[in-house]
Structure 1
């Protein structure tokens, strides 16, 4: 008896629909093509890293995904459905939310109020808050990420890391709007966090993966490789690569970002060696005390870069601000080239030849709607004047020369600085103190925060060049590695006091562990 066997055709299951997909996205600005046909895909329950130099198009892409920018061409698909995202609210209706690099919380409201703001629902009745219900709504979101924050705590009483958790919990409320697993965008979420806070954030990101998709943006490539499943790289407004993090390395990602092989030595330790020090320090600080620091002694010679390191709350940021007259002091003496300084305000500091680059670039370092030219000459009005009047020709010549010298990428000197990438904004802020040529002391508070490798290297090169020209520099670095790589000496602070001073000669640099021992 013959048995006829029927051939069975096994149909593979359909591929899961991506949580988010972008096809051929294009966006033009005057003189700039920010996006030039970007393609990328975010799978469900995936953490996708988005990497690229400043100016690569990341910010424009993210703004398009949350409805803040209208693309000129291309399509966006959410769970397979083609959508037009016209506003942040519209994007939230489709389940897309973003934790912005500059936090968007209202400081004098509670965490609960911030979390449910704009989507109070049952938390409000007759225009009046139902606090028990509000607290439960907020607690539900905080529980999703395992956060112990009290929903009724005022937001301005929380640490930056805890406020970041509130931002994430706030974004998770979009789940109630769309009834779909959310897509969460984290834009530089670690830029001002300490190492322990970063570990906490990463734990929450991994927890999010269980019920959401995440787009993680960071200039720290080691973080991208640590927390992401895949990395998409943008360069010049285009998608140039997509690799699983298991198969990637920082050097390879850097090569994709800049189009060539990068060097691991970004600090260029021997680029501007100095033959010797002045017999007397340029800056002498003795017994300086203030709200968060006390009895601080500090010497900085002309042409020397001195780093100050310490954990959050060590007082180092306030010391830096005090030297610029932006933080009150209660005791101590400060001299610059032998002349006593009266730390009465920032105007006096500028007149004395002190420059300051703040950590919060967008808040304290620049005026967003003003032009590149006006921001660059903001504290040096005489440099652009002929007599009592502003000379447009003199300003144009001065500004254009610094744009060229620092390779600032801007369509025009009249372009609003807020239209530039973070790295180019920082170059403009640095140039502000260079246009008159009379800066003797430069205070740098996290000058490379939020910058990519290429932009950081440019800032390092400029710092070395200024040092070689005799500028004394105080550096609050973005990492211990940066402090070690760039400093000639390092001062360690803990609980508002100087606890150690460590030499950093070329070829005999300390290790991060050497510094940590003095910081705790």
Structure 2
């Protein structure tokens, strides 16, 4: 063969067929361009990370890939074929499945029903469930991720973390649905998982790489670099580049995300000294409920106390009980020297207690209501003059916090459900910041779903509130966050307080120190 013939062969050699490709995707919403010509390539048998600030366009892009959003322009190609994805079922038939950040399970169905929903196959005969077969089909998927969840348990009885594992098991059923290697999208899959569960998930992701392609989305950049082969970055609805993870560091991705250098450790360098105020703001004595017992805890004014523990330790339920959202069976709670009424959330709000729940879509916001109404929902006086709502007063308060928290919204009147998850979380947090009578703030994973810059802002606000005398109980998103932000850390295990660890500046514990106390 001549040199010219060899060159001709090279020129005509077929290009590799990608598992998924996005070309020039555009999507407009009223007042905002969510996607502005996004390009994305997912190769066969790789894990692609997708990074970007809140509002960068990640959620809109993912929804377009699973048929929930119709792009205004651009193309989507699956295994070399141009497709129009009209629904989630249509995407699944093309081998694309997604684990949503905001869970999509039906709460009154069993875990097994949710896992096989829409792909029951031999689990249904003549319209009637074959429960033993359904259980076995679900168990096959749960076994893949090492979960011991009972397939016949009602989903609403499971913890948030267990429901997340059910979501992952559900999307793996796509292997049986498509005749092609699947594309699995994981949107913030680790946001509520403990360290052991995260490692189990990463093991599963690496297994998926052997026969599938994975798109992995997380604000925890260290996780992205750990489990992904490449990372594609979005900023302002546009693709700004990609980097291989080998040798990359979080600061590299952060610089691409916001256009300047940064770190994933914002809270460590800016932590103030613990407050010197001696006044005890919160005093819990022998508090007991269904999932915890004999809990004693004190929090001083201006102090941030972190509570850590493995799944099932009872720490979340303690916070809910303090806000009147969980019934108690014994014990007493005093706030600023006065016995606290634990009968309901109304009494808690009246006493000056704020609560940011872990499940913002279920408990933290009213989706169809506007950003302004959600932000002022708990404190009506922040928007009223006398008994009537004052639009100018509400607008002034809301606009101030939209600017201060860099909430990306077309307008204060935009429905909160139209915002990205991270911006929704900032509105939920701002609900308590607009009030000037908060004495105790209960934060259950307040930075979940927030990017680096937004987390840094939340940390700063927490310290400002502490310096103003607000007592804070923090259930952190990670042990590192708990260590970085807390003045003291209380460890819970099996519903009891087992130890207390000081977090003195310059002598803070390590995550390993806490793990030893937790297990």
TM surpasses 0.5: yes
Partner of 2:29: 29
> What is the CA-CA distance between 1:150 and the residue it aligns to?
5.8
Partner of 1:420: 419
Q: Would you say the 8 A contact 2:85–2:91 is kept in 1?
A: yes
Q: Would you say the 8 A contact 2:103–2:164 is kept in 1?
A: yes
- SS of structure 1 residue aligned to 2:266: coil
Partner of 2:80: 80
> What is the CA-CA distance between 1:457 and the residue it aligns to?
0.7
In structure 1, C-alpha distance between the alignment counterparts of 2:69 and 2:362, rounded to whole Å: 22
In structure 2, C-alpha distance between the alignment counterparts of 1:146 and 1:491, rounded to whole Å: 29
Partner of 2:63: 63
Moved more, 46-55 or 506-515: 506-515
Partner of 2:16: 16
> What is the CA-CA distance between 1:278 and the residue it aligns to?
2.6
Q: How well do the aligned residues superpose, as a CA RMSD in angstroms?
A: 2.2
> What is the CA-CA distance between 1:163 and the residue it aligns to?
3.9
Partner of 1:501: 500
Question: 1:42-76, CA deviations, whole angstroms, 9 ceiling, x for partnerless residues?
Answer: 01111111111111110000001011111111111
> What is the CA-CA distance between 1:399 and the residue it aligns to?
1.5
Q: Would you say the 8 A contact 1:370–1:416 is kept in 2?
A: yes
Q: Would you say the 8 A contact 2:183–2:213 is kept in 1?
A: yes
Structure 1: 5+ residue stretches without partners = none
Give runs of aligned pairs for residues 451-466 of structure 1, distance below 5 A: 451-466=450-465
Partner of 1:355: 354
Give runs of aligned pairs for residues 8-157 of structure 1, distance below 5 A: 9=6, 11=9, 14-135=14-135, 137-138=137-138, 141=141, 151-152=151-152, 154-156=154-156
C-alpha distance 46-281 of structure 1, shift in aligned 2 (>3 A) = same
C-alpha distance 370-158 of structure 1, shift in aligned 2 (>3 A) = closer
Q: Would you say the 8 A contact 1:145–1:208 is kept in 2?
A: no
C-alpha distance 341-503 of structure 1, shift in aligned 2 (>3 A) = same
Question: 1:260-314, CA deviations, whole angstroms, 9 ceiling, x for partnerless residues?
Answer: 010354115545446x523331111222122122222211111111111111111
Partner of 2:295: 296
- SS of structure 2 residue aligned to 1:287: strand
C-alpha distance 146-505 of structure 1, shift in aligned 2 (>3 A) = closer
Q: Would you say the 8 A contact 1:183–1:212 is kept in 2?
A: yes
In structure 2, C-alpha distance between the alignment counterparts of 1:141 and 1:504, rounded to whole Å: 41
Question: 1:493-514, CA deviations, whole angstroms, 9 ceiling, x for partnerless residues?
Answer: 1222222222212222121122
TM-score (norm 2): 0.93
Question: 1:461-517, CA deviations, whole angstroms, 9 ceiling, x for partnerless residues?
Answer: 110111111111111111111011101111111222222222212222121122222
Partner of 2:335: 336
In structure 1, C-alpha distance between the alignment counterparts of 2:367 and 2:264, rounded to whole Å: 33
Moved more, 276-285 or 207-216: 276-285
Partner of 1:227: 227
Give runs of aligned pairs for residues 322-471 of structure 1, distance below 5 A: 322-471=321-470
Q: What is the aligned residue count?
A: 515
- The yes-or-no answer on 1:518 pairing with 2:514 is no
Q: Would you say the 8 A contact 1:145–1:207 is kept in 2?
A: no
C-alpha distance 398-162 of structure 1, shift in aligned 2 (>3 A) = closer
Q: Would you say the 8 A contact 1:56–1:234 is kept in 2?
A: yes
Question: 1:420-470, CA deviations, whole angstroms, 9 ceiling, x for partnerless residues?
Answer: 222222221122112231101111111011211111111101101111111
> What is the CA-CA distance between 1:178 and the residue it aligns to?
3.6
Question: 1:11-51, CA deviations, whole angstroms, 9 ceiling, x for partnerless residues?
Answer: 45533200100011111111211111110100111111111
Q: Would you say the 8 A contact 1:272–1:465 is kept in 2?
A: no
> What is the CA-CA distance between 1:159 and the residue it aligns to?
5.7
Give runs of aligned pairs for residues 254-273 of structure 1, distance below 5 A: 254-267=254-267, 269-270=269-270, 272-273=272-273
In structure 2, C-alpha distance between the alignment counterparts of 1:135 and 1:88, rounded to whole Å: 24
The structure with the larger Rg is 1
Partner of 2:209: 209
Question: 1:374-397, CA deviations, whole angstroms, 9 ceiling, x for partnerless residues?
Answer: 001101112211222112222112
Moved more, 397-406 or 30-39: 397-406
TM-score (norm 1): 0.93
Moved more, 335-344 or 107-116: 107-116
C-alpha distance 205-472 of structure 1, shift in aligned 2 (>3 A) = same
> What is the CA-CA distance between 1:161 and the residue it aligns to?
5.0
In structure 2, C-alpha distance between the alignment counterparts of 1:196 and 1:295, rounded to whole Å: 27
Q: Would you say the 8 A contact 1:95–1:180 is kept in 2?
A: yes
C-alpha distance 111-489 of structure 1, shift in aligned 2 (>3 A) = closer
C-alpha distance 15-147 of structure 1, shift in aligned 2 (>3 A) = farther
- SS of structure 1 residue aligned to 2:433: coil
> What is the CA-CA distance between 1:142 and the residue it aligns to?
5.2
In structure 2, C-alpha distance between the alignment counterparts of 1:309 and 1:140, rounded to whole Å: 32
In structure 1, C-alpha distance between the alignment counterparts of 2:192 and 2:334, rounded to whole Å: 31
C-alpha distance 316-150 of structure 1, shift in aligned 2 (>3 A) = closer
C-alpha distance 238-336 of structure 1, shift in aligned 2 (>3 A) = same
- SS of structure 1 residue aligned to 2:263: coil
> What is the CA-CA distance between 1:258 and the residue it aligns to?
1.3
- SS of structure 2 residue aligned to 1:374: helix
